[in-house]
């Protein structure tokens, strides 16, 4: 299979040995992948995509006979997955890893569906009271923790394969182009002996009602994409009075970084009366959305009166801080939404890589690392912060 693995590796100045160590494979395996002599397994492909923070289909060129091919071959197979379906299986791998199991079963696929919140399937389950946290608790009650500590590849169980087979059969019966998340959910419902159905029943779901709603969605002639507001709210970016799912709290590391940055900004801004710094606040944007950002700065000139609810403006500076539960690509998309609506600067702080990504309107993206200094000259002249001072201190 042709791929961009060598290009992505060299862009990071990694040797084949460096990449092999990160993937927990041999250097010979990396060489075979780069030269196209060997195709990655699905779990390894997902691991590579996660490492480079890049979709699978942008790393591996989709060929007719590859595992990621978008068209169905004549023989029965599990090919023809949509991008969202591939992401669901990648997230299922993560759930298996989290519980230290050496397999991906129907229960991990269900958790993957709920983790990929952009789909109709995830939103339908959430509307029926099944959110990711509740499902994770039920799965843990049933299967508990495993003993696999190594970051190894995790194959699909026979029942999980049956789910994809049932999904594939539904695709062909409905004359659709590819397996999407709705087909996978339908497969989970119809594989009645899987752990996933036990989880749904334990959470009070009537499987017949759920199946009927999924079928109604699949049988619609046009399956339109959700609106912008729905696309944002499913990631907890937007505020909705109808949403009953609480936002996931920040983890300890990102919470501490938030406090450290807020303190440095406030100590400079308030004595000079330059504007306001707010935390986890919703902003009513010109396009009608109310989006929430981790930290924001609004200049004094633009905020004459302190609103009691959501300010009807776009902040000058938006800051997102990656937590252990976040995907970088989603946070970048969120920052781009703010920039498109008029924000001047967007910062993405990644404690895992210890970097600060700076996006400015009309300028190229800049990534700052330890040893470099963050400045916001167009908003806060003379203010600066060494990147290394964002991270948690090490006490003696």
Helix intervals (H) in 191-327: 195-202, 207-218, 228-233, 252-272
Q: Which of 59, 74, 93 is the last residue of a domain?
A: 59
Residue 334 in domain: yes
Structural domain that includes position 384: 252-390
CATH number at residue 386: 3.90.1570.10
Q: Which residues make Cβ contacts (< 8 Å) with residue 173, sequence separation at least 6?
A: none
Residue 151 in domain: yes
| Alpha-carbon gap, residue 61 to 280, rounded angstroms | 40
Site of tokens 């306001």: 276
Residue 230 in domain: no
Q: Which residues make Cβ contacts (< 8 Å) with residue 303, sequence separation at least 6?
A: 275, 276, 311, 313
Site of tokens 């494979």: 25
> Could you give the number of structural domains in the chain?
3
Residue 391 structure tokens: 């991270």
Residue 75 in domain: no
The CA-to-CA distance between both ends of the chain, in Å, stands at 51
| Alpha-carbon gap, residue 289 to 302, rounded angstroms | 19
Q: Which SS3 state, helix, strand or coil, does residue 320 take?
A: strand
Task: Compute CA distances 24 → 41, 130, 152, 190, 315, whole Å.
Answer: 14, 35, 8, 36, 43
CATH number at residue 181: 1.10.1780.10
Q: How confident is the model at residue 387 (pLDDT cuts 50, 70, 90)?
A: very high
| Alpha-carbon gap, residue 317 to 335, rounded angstroms | 10
pTM, two decimal places: 0.44
Q: Is the pLDDT of residue 192 over 90?
A: no
Same domain, 11 and 92: no
Residue 239 in domain: no
Determine the average pLDDT of the residues in 303-317.
Answer: 86
Q: What is the pLDDT of residues 242-292, one digit of tens each?
A: 333 344 567 899 999 999 999 999 999 999 999 999 998 888 888 777 788
Same domain, 279 and 369: yes
Q: How confident is the model at residue 148 (pLDDT cuts 50, 70, 90)?
A: low
Determine the average pLDDT of the residues in 27-32.
Answer: 87
Q: Is the pLDDT of residue 239 over 50?
A: no
From the list 164, 41, 72, the residue with the least C-alpha distance to 109 is 164
Burial of residue 284 (CB within 10 Å: 0-12, 13-18, 19+) is middle
Enter the DSSP assignment of 358: E
Same domain, 183 and 268: no
Q: What is the pLDDT of residues 63-87, one digit of tens each?
A: 544 444 443 333 333 457 888 888 8
Q: What is the pLDDT of residues 94-126, one digit of tens each?
A: 888 888 888 889 999 999 999 888 788 888 898
Q: Quick one: CA dihedral 13, 15, 18, 21, positive or negative?
A: positive
Same domain, 219 and 256: no
Q: Is the pLDDT of residue 225 over 80?
A: no
Q: Which residues make Cβ contacts (< 8 Å) with residue 164, sequence separation at least 6?
A: 78, 156, 179, 184, 187
| pLDDT in the model for residue 275 | 94
Residue 243 in domain: no
Q: Which SS3 state, helix, strand or coil, does residue 95 take?
A: helix
Q: Which residues make Cβ contacts (< 8 Å) with residue 221, sequence separation at least 6?
A: none
What H or E segment, with its residue span, contains residue 88?
helix 83-98
Site of tokens 């779901």: 205
Same domain, 265 and 356: yes
């Amino acid at each position: 299979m042709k791929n961009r693995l060598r290009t992505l590796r060299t862009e990071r100045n990694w040797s084949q040995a460096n990449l092999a160590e990160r993937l927990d494979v041999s250097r010979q395996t990396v060489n075979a992948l780069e030269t196209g002599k060997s195709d990655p397994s699905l779990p390894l492909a997902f691991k590579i995509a996660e490492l480079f923070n890049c979709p699978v289909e942008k790393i591996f060129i989709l060929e007719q006979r590859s595992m990621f091919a978008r068209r169905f071959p004549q023989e029965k197979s599990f090919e023809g997955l949509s991008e969202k379906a591939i992401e669901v299986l990648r997230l299922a791998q993560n759930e298996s890893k989290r519980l230290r199991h050496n397999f991906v079963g129907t229960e991990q696929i269900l958790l993957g569906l709920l983790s990929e919140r952009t789909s109709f399937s995830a939103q339908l389950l959430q509307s029926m009271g099944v959110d990711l946290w509740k499902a994770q608790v039920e799965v843990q009650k049933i299967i508990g923790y495993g003993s696999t500590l190594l970051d190894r590849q995790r194959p699909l169980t026979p029942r999980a394969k049956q789910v994809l087979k049932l999904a594939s059969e539904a695709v062909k019966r409905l004359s659709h182009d590819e397996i999407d998340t709705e087909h996978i959910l339908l497969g989970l419902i119809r594989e009645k002996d899987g752990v996933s159905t036990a989880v749904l029943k334990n959470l009070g779901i009537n499987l017949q009602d759920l199946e009927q709603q999924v079928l109604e969605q699949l049988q619609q002639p046009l399956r339109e994409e959700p609106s912008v507001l729905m696309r944002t709210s499913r990631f907890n970016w937007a505020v909705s009075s109808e949403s009953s799912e609480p936002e996931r709290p920040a983890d300890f590391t990102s919470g501490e970084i938030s406090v450290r940055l807020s303190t440095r900004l406030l100590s400079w801004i308030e004595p000079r009366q330059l504007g306001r710094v707010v935390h986890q606040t919703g902003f009513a944007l010109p396009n009608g959305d109310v989006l929430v950002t981790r930290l924001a700065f609004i200049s004094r000139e633009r905020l004459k009166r302190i609103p009691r609810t959501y300010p009807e403006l776009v902040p000058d500076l938006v800051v997102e801080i990656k937590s252990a539960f976040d995907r970088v690509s989603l946070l970048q998309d969120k920052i781009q939404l703010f920039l498109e609506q008029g924000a001047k600067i967007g910062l993405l702080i990644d404690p895992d890589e210890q970097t600060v990504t700076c996006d400015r309107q009309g300028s190229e993206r800049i990534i700052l690392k330890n040893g470099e200094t963050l400045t916001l000259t167009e908003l806060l002249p003379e203010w600066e912060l060494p990147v290394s001072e964002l991270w948690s201190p090490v006490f003696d």
